[in-house]
Structure 1
């Protein structure tokens, strides 16, 4: 398995430099095509207008959105012009999440920026919350301050679930290029330790058969710490540049209500995260 097409999702009201840098680097490492994608909708003001005045307001707003999308295309072209390989741009006047989710069908992996816990504008931003749960592709979340994809130490945050299994498989191309890979798990209090040990050992053995040397480790979490806090401590101790993890929602019927650890991984700013659902 490799990445033949890398897609990078750009946003109107966020910094795009880090995600463009990492997406371009990924495309170079795997000799992959790179597709830039962005969309936005004009959000009409809440005050009332009608007739010619309303139409003029809509026309002006849509023209402004088109200019801003053209600016993002120029940024994408400038970031990819010296990298070689196939580069393609796709944009539209649409809700960003809907547009990006549709375009993700052509990609092996989608690169996005992170997100602060504050409310995000659905007219201007494809939220990583939407992308990770609905794209059907792995999502690489890149913090704004990142300037490269650090694969010297990679932490696979293991939990014996379909999402975590999918994430490890999706991350295989990166894991093959990593210097150190740790399969780490933090057992629940009532979990059977022999079963937990067998799980991480199986994953390490499976990776070995795919050409990845990985260390299986069980970490003890502090009782007064949240799961996200425990994971952060492990990642810091390992000096991990990338975390690989499954993405989870609280509800079968509304999966966009993310679990605490998934929410943390999308909003933290210390390292890149590969998430699969």
Structure 2
């Protein structure tokens, strides 16, 4: 159970310190190699010109983007250079999500930053909302206030779905290094309480066969809050440094639509979250 290669996705116009620190922690814990990725595409202004003036504008803009990408490479090498078994940098003038997806085959896990709610700039940002549904790798979403990867307590948010089963399997290397693992399910209503207990008992036993000691916790149904808020409250009560969860969503024409809890975890998370779809 290990991660041999960690990929970290950097943003042009957002803080990168937290995600680099967490990615560096991952590489150091697993003696893993590291791949840094970043990309940006020229965004034409609303009122675009033509001819020689247009060409000059494109060349100047692309030169500025290349300068920024070079700055990100220097930051990447400076922060994680002494902590990874090997370093590789991959940048391009391209749409960021497309560039990450073209590189992700080389990695075991992708580290990225969280993103405030609202529309993102697809020309400069590889949105975690897009990455989580398309990478085919576990995605570790890091809030900007993180100072490292805290594995003192890991909360596994269980739900009887393929995505949750994939997430806990993807998280095995991290769970094996955690000091404490708690498997939590939040039932829909009181009639589901007994079934929840049986399900998470199976998960705890399965983890035990992987030599991971975990405890089970079934939350009381109801309590007047939505599932995302209740999950946050449980994580806070446990002082969890990491939440492991399945990512739920579906594609619609020209957009990806996430479920409410998944949307919350990639946009409002107060702690690191490992998501798998």
The normalised TM-score by structure 2 is 0.96
CA–CA separation in structure 1 for the residues paired with 2:121 and 2:132: 17
Kindly indicate whether the alpha-carbon contact (under 8 Å) linking 2:193 and 2:218 is maintained by their aligned counterparts in 1.
Answer: no
Kindly indicate whether the alpha-carbon contact (under 8 Å) linking 1:185 and 1:218 is maintained by their aligned counterparts in 2.
Answer: yes
Match of 2:114 in 1: 114
CA–CA separation in structure 2 for the residues paired with 1:29 and 1:260: 32
Match of 2:213 in 1: 213
Structure 2, unmatched stretches of 5+, are none
CA–CA separation in structure 1 for the residues paired with 2:72 and 2:6: 17
Q: How many residues align?
A: 276
Kindly indicate whether the alpha-carbon contact (under 8 Å) linking 1:145 and 1:269 is maintained by their aligned counterparts in 2.
Answer: no
Kindly indicate whether the alpha-carbon contact (under 8 Å) linking 1:141 and 1:266 is maintained by their aligned counterparts in 2.
Answer: yes
SS in 1 for 2:256: coil
Q: Superposition RMSD on alpha carbons, in Å?
A: 1.3
CA–CA separation in structure 1 for the residues paired with 2:84 and 2:6: 14
Deviation per CA, 1:90-123, whole angstroms, max 9, x where unpaired?
A: 0111000010011111100000000000321100
Kindly indicate whether the alpha-carbon contact (under 8 Å) linking 2:117 and 2:268 is maintained by their aligned counterparts in 1.
Answer: no
Structure 1, unmatched stretches of 5+, are none
Within a 5 Å distance, the mapping from 1:194-213 to structure 2 comes to 194-213=194-213
Deviation per CA, 1:63-103, whole angstroms, max 9, x where unpaired?
A: 11111111111111111222251011001110000100111
Match of 2:14 in 1: 14
Pick closer, same or farther for the CA change 1:182–1:121 going to 2, 3 Å. Answer: same
Within a 5 Å distance, the mapping from 1:26-105 to structure 2 comes to 26-105=26-105
1:260: Cα distance to partner? 0.7
Kindly indicate whether the alpha-carbon contact (under 8 Å) linking 2:190 and 2:221 is maintained by their aligned counterparts in 1.
Answer: no
Kindly indicate whether the alpha-carbon contact (under 8 Å) linking 1:32 and 1:86 is maintained by their aligned counterparts in 2.
Answer: yes
Kindly indicate whether the alpha-carbon contact (under 8 Å) linking 1:144 and 1:269 is maintained by their aligned counterparts in 2.
Answer: no
Deviation per CA, 1:140-165, whole angstroms, max 9, x where unpaired?
A: 00011101111111100000100000
Which aligned segments of 4 or more residues in structure 1 are displaced greater than 3 angstroms?
A: 251-255
Pick closer, same or farther for the CA change 1:10–1:191 going to 2, 3 Å. Answer: farther
Pick closer, same or farther for the CA change 1:17–1:252 going to 2, 3 Å. Answer: closer
